[in-house]
Amino acid sequence: MSPSPLEIARVGPLEREYVLEVLSSQFRTSTNSQMTQRLEQKFAQVFESRFAISFINGTATMHAVLAAAGIGAGDEVIVPPLTMASTSFAVLHAGATPVFADIDPCMWTLCPKSVEQRITSRTKAILPVAIYGLSADMDALMSIAKRHHLFVLEDDAQCFLGKCHGRINGSIADASSFSFQSSKHITSGEGGMVTTNDAELADRVRRFNSLGYAAVKAGAGKGKITRETIQDPVYLRHASLGWNYRMPELCAAVALAQTERLPELVQARIHAANAYAQALQGCKWLVPQHVPEGFVHSYWTYAVALNCGDAFTWYDFRRKYREMGGDGIYAAWQLTYLEPAFRNQRFSPEQTQCLAPGLCPVAESLQPRLVQLKTNYFDPAATERAATALHNTIKYFN
């Protein structure tokens, strides 16, 4: 296990400094978007992308990218079932239809073989999720996309500084989406970011999140409309349809500080994951998510599968873990297509999938057995307590 890090603040002095900088501007229009531009420039640098475009949340990001890519009514987007439903909601927001492919039985990310089996003449995109902080097999998925001329959008909401064969997640696909929701590696309360290396796509994404304003561009320093332009009586503002998905300056201030602090924020979670892994040594009935060679996991959470048969239940395990001093555990989300909003629904006349049990058997077998352990500890003592609770729980059931 790596040496214990020092205690760090989830939100610290740098965030406060940047927030006060925004407040001291009195929200003058002449200073508007300056913090946002600084955030986008820094984020693009960290995630090795030409462009980064900030958003109000990490669902709006995916909606905007799909729309900017020309995906809409009659189109299909292949998605995983084991993730937050927001991924599939974004597809529906764009007017397209989500098509569910199964997951890899060891990595728990979108299975390339299942993806290829789901491709039809209506398939236009693949939307893999880096679940729990682990990248999908992006090399395989990008190869499939190239053969079938498909757009790829990474959902990296849970994956900051994760890597796939030496490439950072956020730089691999046609575009990538990040979330700054309160549980994520970076948070500004709410917020999100899109990264891409495609200049034309970036411009369309920027216009979509800015009410279709003609003057906005994705490049650094061009994310706002000048006073000279806006005061012109013949100015034609709206070049296309768009939404108001822009990130507020106060959120950008916090997100900028968190981006600058990202290595230490991620390392705190990796330290927790390492502590859990040590507690798991020798246990045969708790199986962690497999991290293939060449992948770097960023551990938004530490997930394990409970393989105990009928010896005890998921609820028994959670109850004992809490009795042993653990903070509690989270279950995995219900599979998206089994949620009431999706189950047995038809989202387009052309839909061929029946959204019902049996659609993705690997995911259906895994989901009820998943144990998600917290990694968002910023005090090493709290990490130690959680790992000790896990060790003692395992000892109790052995």
154, 160 contact by CB (below 8 A): no
Q: Is 184 a catalytic residue?
A: yes
Nearest to 286 by CA among 257, 311, 267: 311
Nearest to 390 by CA among 266, 273, 289: 273
For the record, the structure tokens of 74 come out as 């009659």
As a whole number of Å, the end-to-end CA separation of the chain is: 23
Q: How far is CA 384 from CA 271, 321, 324, 374, 380, in A?
A: 10, 14, 13, 12, 6
Q: How many CA atoms lie within 13 A of 48 on its CB side?
A: 12
Check 42, 113, 124, 184 and give the catalytic one. 184
Alpha-carbon gap, residue 127 to 124, rounded angstroms: 10
* Residue 3, Cβ density class (10 Å: 0-12 exposed, 13-18 middle, ≥19 buried): exposed
For the record, the structure tokens of 225 come out as 């409309």
* Residue 189, Cβ density class (10 Å: 0-12 exposed, 13-18 middle, ≥19 buried): middle
CB atoms within 10 A of CB 118: 18
Exposure string of 265-301, with b = 16+ CB inside 10 Å and e = fewer, is: bbbbbbbbbbbbbebbeebebbbbbebeeebbbbbbb
Residue type present at position 115: V
CB atoms within 10 A of CB 242: 21
Helix, strand, coil percent content, the chain, rounded in steps of 5: 35, 15, 50
Alpha-carbon gap, residue 114 to 80, rounded angstroms: 10
Q: How far is CA 270 from CA 43, 103, 161, 254, in A?
A: 21, 24, 11, 22
Give the catalytic positions in this structure: 184
